[in-house]
Amino acid sequence: MTATNGRLLLHASLIFLFLAATDNAAGKLGLSEDIAIGSIVITELMPNVSDKDVDWIELLNVTDTDIDLKGCSLTDTNNDKVLIEQALTIPAGKYAILASGISDENNTPPALSKPALLYSAESFHLDNHTDQVILACSERVIDEVSYKQYQPGPASPSRGWQLEPNSLNATANDETDKWCYTVLSDDFIYGVDRAATPGAENPMCVEVSLPYVHINDQSAVLIDGIDFNTTLKIAAAELAENKSTSELTIWVLRDQKINAEIATTISLLYFQYIEDLYDSEPFTVVDWNHAVWHFAWAISNLYRNGDESVKATLQQAYDDAITRPQTLARYNYIAADNVLNPAIMMGDIHTMGRGYANNHIVVPGNPEYIQDYQGYLDNKRSDLMSSIIHVLYVVKKFFDDLMA
């Protein structure tokens, strides 16, 4: 090698080192061994529901530095593996979608129309039962997520399994209760009844904010000593008022063990008042859609949790109730999920539901509930107070919308 060639080689090497240092200084990690554990977080996924579906994984770069995943890999519990062989840069604070194919459905989110990485469904796919996603770089696990059961509801054939938006880190996403199905809302529906937010911020998990929810666990919600006759008297009085909350006394009873006699009374009340609820008087955010959905939900739970005599008694009411979600202008997705889903959602759901139950279910001897019909009357909000609350809510909502 001549001295001139040596100087040229040294000069080129220095330029290379300068450019590499400049690239890193500009905020980009280009080597898989430089990627820190927890810097990329798995925030959403869609398992393979059927062979025609695109399954996908959403990754979020939680750092302030662009990260290139070239050289990293995805694996799961079935020994599926995808090696990321090309450059795959996720900008700081941004998302990337890795998918088994490109969705050709209408109204498909851009992230699924052009994912950051297409992998073969034969080499890697997410099962709709127990499975796991592991992102590893240089033999270090950057993040991993396991799920035990994926159950898209009847309201949509596919729902994203998403991380609660206040828990976007590799520690929180190890906790099962930080994950939920994407909220069933028109804002998050795409294609043929898909519900997810690939490549975008996740909505709040409904389940995270519902402290009294129990799935398929009637024993957790049973109340001992209910006076059903008096409670159903309250239910009849409420329904006669034709308000959008009138059905809620039946709703807070929906998870209890009843006999055929009680089921008969509930069935009669259902058919007597279900049509009237479509013209019921709204109260704050609660309107006729909410009323019809909750009455149908109550009948569905009572029927499915009932013995054969209860099922026989409620059969006609149940057959009618399961058709009601399709009549709704609002809440139709979540209504279908509650009324038709094989997984039965039980419990008071939230604080307002629990408060309503406390003031409408009669349980003599239990101080958490009213003791008799007079207790219901004593706690009952007057029509004037209800009107004032509703007007104040409408005014507040008007100004909130104006300022938005």
Q: The CATH number of the domain where 112 resides is what?
A: 2.60.40.1260
Query: How many domains would you assign to the chain?
Result: 2
Positions of the chain with pLDDT lower than 50, given as ranges: 1-27
Q: Where are the beta strands (DSSP E) in 171-219?
A: 179-181, 189-190, 194-195, 212-215
**Residues pairing with 189 in the sheet:** 195
The answer to whether residues 361 and 223 touch, using CB atoms and an 8 Å cutoff, is yes
Structural domain of 267? 213-403
Taking the model in full, what pTM does it have? 0.75
Indicate if 158 and 258 belong to the same structural domain.
no
Indicate if 125 and 244 belong to the same structural domain.
no
Indicate if 165 and 220 belong to the same structural domain.
no
Indicate if 41 and 94 belong to the same structural domain.
yes
Indicate if 223 and 191 belong to the same structural domain.
no
The answer to whether residues 142 and 135 touch, using CB atoms and an 8 Å cutoff, is yes
Spell out a b/e string for 339-375, using b for 16 or more CB atoms within 10 Å of the CB, else e: bbbeebbbbbbeeebbebbbbbbbbeeeeebbeebeb
Of the candidates 155, 176, 206, which is a domain's last residue? 206
Indicate if 241 and 172 belong to the same structural domain.
no
Of the candidates 158, 183, 206, which is a domain's last residue? 206
Question: According to the model, what pLDDT value does residue 385 have?
Answer: 82
The 10s digit of each residue's pLDDT in 106-148 is: 888 999 999 999 998 888 888 888 899 999 999 899 999 998 8
Question: According to the model, what pLDDT value does residue 30 have?
Answer: 53
